[in-house]
Amino acid sequence: MCGIIGCVGCGDGTLSTLLHGLSKLEYRGYDSAGVALVGDGSLRVAKKAGKLDALEAAVEERADLAGTVGIGHTRWSTHGPPTDDNAHPHQDCTKRVAVVHNGIIENYQSLRDELAESGHEFDSDTDTEVVPHLVEASLEAGRDPEAAFRDAVARLEGSFALACVVEGTEAVFVARNDSPLVLGIGDDATYLASDVPAFREFTDRVVYLEDGEFARLTADGWSVSDVDGTLREKTVDTVDWDPEDTGKSGYDHFMLKEIHEQPRALRQCLQGRVDELGGSVTLEELDDLDLERAHLVAAGTSYHAAVYGAQLLRDDGVPAQAFLSHEYATSPPPTEDATVIGVSQSGETADTLAATREAQRRGAETLAVTNTVGSTMARECDHVCYIRSGPEIGVAATKTFAGQQTALNLLTQHLSPGPVDRDLIAALRDLPSDVQAILDETDAEAVGETYLDSDAYFFIGRALNYPVAMEGALKMKEITYKHAEGFAAGELKHGTLALVTPDTPVIANVIGDGELARKTVGNVKEVEARDAPVVAVTDGQSDVERYANHVLEVPETHPRAAAILANIQLQLVAYHTAAKLGRSIDKPRNLAKSVTVE
């Protein structure tokens, strides 16, 4: 997983371009970094475990590290711990070949054994290292560098995005299978990356590679071909966001900036799709989709959005279930007449891609709900609904979760057989201003400080607020490294109550004054009786405030929109707790932004 950068045509600026690209890929999560440069007939490599500043320090000591063609990588460990030897790029025995790789090579052990038997020696624990040795073997057999690279790729099984350079050849050779790669087309240079932010400062023109495609980047330009070497015509798209969108804009962390960007992100999601006067929701891209039954597949934060979306559909009379995509991919239920909806922020989540592909193999119609234009899921699914949240850099998803919730409301209103809910349309219209009111008035920082030393945190909610509770707990876990658990409020008494103590605050989402709210207040009383502190996230319609130590208010609105607002308060509690603990908020340990391995 993690980040690849490459460039050709940057001249003396090649190394700085690579380092800049790696800095823009840090948000994906990583534990080592490295670069390889080709120039003047030589290949030079530098790589270090740790953060990017460790590599930058090593580079400063290397006067010989120069070239006009280069590749770089940030690694998130899968095979072997984060060490200098396990960092990418990896080389062959002769040190003529360097390779960077995202994904997992499933048959690497058999290839490694075969290569070792023929005399190849390995320096790392990684699956990636077999690739440069395979290239080396083909070069020794008389193949030219591009043919040798193709020979190596033909031996691989698994998922990969690969970039390779060879000493004496001023070109980058590229291949993709089940892991994202995009080319950046500049006026005088060509770029390669796992994600657009790596080169967006230099160009807004992009070419998305498909599975099974190869690319060759040289000073004369670029070309894309298939497995057989046949050239392919590719569309050059334009990225419609500004490089400054990926900066912190004065905020201490990307996560805080992105929490505060949510009013704008939600306006973008709603724009042109909601007509309050006409009482309608329009998703023109889905006009030909007929939804009778839905299976929503997702992982992580997106799974919580899928649980929320499935509840919306069921409430509107559409049979719907949410599934963890990695379970669905390996043991799917009968699809029958179900439309399979893949929910993924990046559109590249390996587990969710596997689920939608399995659904297509079984003949099901598929829909992608994603933020990333041109992503693999957006291209492969039969339909796509974009959430329009803009680039999200923080590893912990914030504005994209709110965007998914909002888009799923639009989707439900567009596709459900019943009449459009005019009250909901009015609530969606007000959603950006309601979010802004929370951002302006929240007491989340005080809550975070009060319970900083807690043993654990329990988040509870019912119906639409159940997935919000799960998401609140996930945010707390991701960025504070504290134990947190989110579950349906009714489950509190079925075991978890044994863990409730005065040192385990319970954060309760209590919206409205109906039966669900009253039952949740009953759960709050259960923990209050055991001296657990209570934080109530509420719109003030129930009497939960009487039993709460702290109250986080949300504007009174439609219950579906209120669940979105409650989530904003939980994001802020997690953020302020992590900030006061001094955590690495934008790059939490062990985590990656786009999970491109199964």
Over 90: is that where the pLDDT of 14 sits? yes
CA 192 – CA 181 distance, rounded (Å): 7
Token duo for residue 236: 């050059």
Comparing CA positions, the residue from 70, 66, 1 lying closest to residue 32 is 1
Over 60: is that where the pLDDT of 597 sits? no
Q: Which residue has the higher pLDDT, 271 or 304?
A: 304
Over 90: is that where the pLDDT of 598 sits? no
Q: State the pLDDT at residue 305.
A: 98
Q: State the pLDDT at residue 581.
A: 95
To which residue do tokens 């719907």 refer?
320
Count CB atoms within 10 A of the CB of residue 178: 22
Phi, psi of 278 (to 5 degrees): -85, -10
At the second CATH level, the architecture of 442-598 is 3-Layer(aba) Sandwich (3.40)
Band of residue 595 on the pLDDT scale cut at 50, 70, 90:
low
Cα torsion through 106, 112, 115, 120, rounded to 10: 140
Q: State the pLDDT at residue 528.
A: 85
Chain segment 22-68, per-residue pLDDT in tens:
888 877 667 889 999 998 889 999 999 888 889 999 888 887 888 89
Chain segment 389-438, per-residue pLDDT in tens:
988 888 899 999 999 999 999 999 998 777 788 899 999 999 999 999 99
**Domain definitions of the chain by residue range:** 2-244, 247-255+263-431, 442-598
Give the CATH class of 2-244.
alpha beta
- Chain Cα centroid distance, residue 515: 36
Over 60: is that where the pLDDT of 596 sits? no
Q: State the pLDDT at residue 555.
A: 96
Band of residue 241 on the pLDDT scale cut at 50, 70, 90:
low
Token duo for residue 94: 């002769």
CA 262 – CA 440 distance, rounded (Å): 13
Chain segment 186-228, per-residue pLDDT in tens:
999 999 998 888 898 899 999 999 889 999 999 889 999 999 9
C-beta of residue 33 within 8 angstroms of C-beta of residue 18: no
Chain segment 430-481, per-residue pLDDT in tens:
999 999 999 999 999 999 999 999 999 999 999 999 999 999 999 999 999 9
Chain segment 354-378, per-residue pLDDT in tens:
999 999 999 999 999 999 888 889 9
Q: Check if 247-255+263-431 and 442-598 are the same fold.
A: yes
Cα distances (Å, whole numbers) of residue 433 to 263, 267, 273, 439, 517: 7, 9, 18, 10, 25
Catalytic residues: 2, 593
Q: What is the mean pLDDT of residues 261-290?
A: 88
C-beta of residue 376 within 8 angstroms of C-beta of residue 103: no
Over 70: is that where the pLDDT of 593 sits? no
Q: State the pLDDT at residue 243.
A: 67
At the second CATH level, the architecture of 247-255+263-431 is 3-Layer(aba) Sandwich (3.40)
